Structure 1
């Protein structure tokens, strides 16, 4: 065990994060995300929440500065004003980790899947209430 490192950051996940280049994307999905849409290597974190996974990942992964919205989230809401609580939570976690305000943008399923197919790694969590998925674009330190 390393000091001050989340136990969710396994060797496989740390290796995947370390091998990412600036501009590469990581997809963070819950168990309800369609498996057939995942084309990148998958790292399973088990029965943890999306928020816990995001907190662990964003504690070591810098987000892109040159992207006005380095986090994209899957929008399954009926209303454009209905943002899931988990999206607010991930936004707060990202902003705290980056020590700056992080903007997020919402994508509908087809647009999200198209971008997720270009992701270099997918992190899957067992918690999926409500269904959620995020794309995180890596930046430099």
Structure 2
């Protein structure tokens, strides 16, 4: 056990977050995402919502301040301006810490394949996928 660490941050996830360097990206994805076939490292958080996972990760992960958009969500196929409820919730969690961009579905898959890790949650809401770019940890 550790003090002040969200219990959703499993040992495997904490290791990945700590091993990431500035500019590395991590994808938090829903239960429908093809995680196993796209991940360099797949970390499972079955039974955990995307919003709980994002809140836990962002409690320890700084976002990159040196890029204009360090956060990306997946666009709705055929309606890129639509904001699904899960995406609205993720944007609220990110808040004013960083700008959120969007990526077309296949562009999101391609970018997720380059991420340091993919964290597959048990989220069942559609389009509940987000990529976070790690920033500098300041002392």
TM-score (norm 1): 0.89
Structure 2 vs 1, CA of residues 101 and 39 (structure 1 numbering), >3 Å: closer, same or farther? closer
1:93 is aligned to 93
Which 4+ residue blocks in structure 1 deviate beyond 3 angstroms?
Answer: none
User: How many Å separate the matches in 1 of 2:8 and 2:80?
Assistant: 33
For residues 5-62 of structure 1, the C-alpha deviation after alignment (integer angstroms, 9 at most, x for no partner) is 1110111111100000000000111110124541321111111110000000000011
Shift of 1:77: 4.4
Report the alpha carbon displacement of residue 85 of structure 1 after superposing the two structures with TM. Answer: 1.8
Q: Secondary structure at the match of 2:44?
A: strand
Match of 1:124 among 120, 125, 133: 120
Q: Supply the RMSD in Å over aligned alpha carbons.
A: 1.5
Aligned pairs for 1:56-71 within 5 A: 56-71=56-71
Is 2:109 aligned against 1:113? Answer: yes
SS at match of 1:61: coil
